[in-house]
Amino acid sequence: MRIAYLDCFSGISGDMLLAALVDAGANRERIEQELRKLSPGDFRLEWKTVVKAGVSALKLDVIDESHAPSLPQKPLKVLGNDHTHRSHKDIVAMIQAAGLAPRVTRRSLAIFEKIAIAEAKIHNVPVDTVHFHEVGALDSIVDIVGIALGLEELDIEQLCCGPIPTGNGYVRCAHGLYPVPAPATMELLLGIPLRETSIQKELTTPTGAGVAAALVEQFGSLPSMTVESIGYGAGTRDLPDQPNVLRLLVGHK
């Protein structure tokens, strides 16, 4: 059985996991080609190797290509409230119409469904009427479907994960300043082993928590497996005393 283990000692986000999948051997050209079927907006993916606290890792930025040529292009990760808001229904229709492989479609929809259910509970609205903010943005759609594509590229049948650190402090979301973990993130992490950390930053995003809630079948220490490749996906921030990376072990058991 093909298996992957998420060693998320510095948390997990969508861009970190997608970068780790590519670093572990997923074909990024094929992933980008498949992502174009979504037509969520004008974008390109920028990949670069960075060093985080002495560890070399792949960094992914989704670049918004819809800016006017006279304006500087910025990674969507820093656009804040300029994100496009989409409903869960809109995103489901977009993914179903893209003609992706069945397992890619299934995994993508499963992640969005988990996030929609969490958001609906937090905001006390029906699931179908949930309008995403950060997760409805183009970059998060690309991250989530890209992760499903990366898992397919590596033919991963089972996803396992270590305990997840959420971080501490506060994070600014579309509705204001929230404690870390943000309410939707905490809702998604119900029943999932968490790991204590003193770091005063958000380490696990709603997208990362959604992936864990929807796709991980086993939580705990490293399972019995033969490791064939290792991928490192970099986060944006630099953390004190540790590399801000997600380590992905890929192999079989």
pLDDT values of the chain reduced to their tens digit, one per residue, 253 residues: 999 999 999 999 999 999 999 999 999 999 999 999 987 667 889 999 999 999 999 999 988 776 534 434 433 333 333 445 678 888 999 999 999 999 999 999 999 999 999 989 988 988 877 776 554 478 889 999 999 999 999 999 999 999 999 999 998 876 788 899 999 999 999 999 999 999 999 999 999 999 999 999 999 999 999 999 999 999 999 998 899 999 999 999 9
Neighbouring residues of 101: CB distance < 8 A, sequence distance ≥ 6: 152
Give the chain's domain count. 1
State the DSSP code for 201.
S
C-alpha span between 147 and 51 (Å, rounded): 22
Structural domain that includes position 123: 2-252
The confidence score (pLDDT) of residue 67 equals: 53
State the DSSP code for 181.
S
Distances, alpha carbon 42 to alpha carbons 74, 77, 79, 138, in Å:
13, 15, 15, 9
Q: Which of 11, 7, 8 has the alpha carbon at shortest distance from 168? A: 11
State the DSSP code for 121.
H
Query: Do the bridges between strand 216-219 and strand 158-161 make them parallel or antiparallel, or are there none, so unpaired?
Result: parallel
The owner of tokens 């898992």 is: 151
Q: What tokens were used for 62?
A: 């989704």
The confidence score (pLDDT) of residue 126 equals: 85
Count the neighbouring beta carbons within 10 Å of the beta carbon of residue 97: 11
The confidence score (pLDDT) of residue 84 equals: 55
Longest pairwise C-alpha distance within the chain:
54
The sign one gets for the Cα dihedral 79, 85, 88, 89 is negative
Element (H, E) at 207: helix 206-215
Q: What tokens were used for 163?
A: 């305990």
The confidence score (pLDDT) of residue 72 equals: 40
The confidence score (pLDDT) of residue 196 equals: 96
C-alpha span between 231 and 213 (Å, rounded): 21
C-alpha span between 126 and 75 (Å, rounded): 32
Q: What tokens were used for 46?
A: 């920028």
The confidence score (pLDDT) of residue 11 equals: 98
The owner of tokens 């498949």 is: 34
Q: What tokens were used for 26?
A: 């997923």
Q: Are 130 and 87 in contact (CB under 8 A)?
A: yes
- Does 240 sit behind a cis peptide bond, omega within 30 degrees of 0 on the bond before it? no
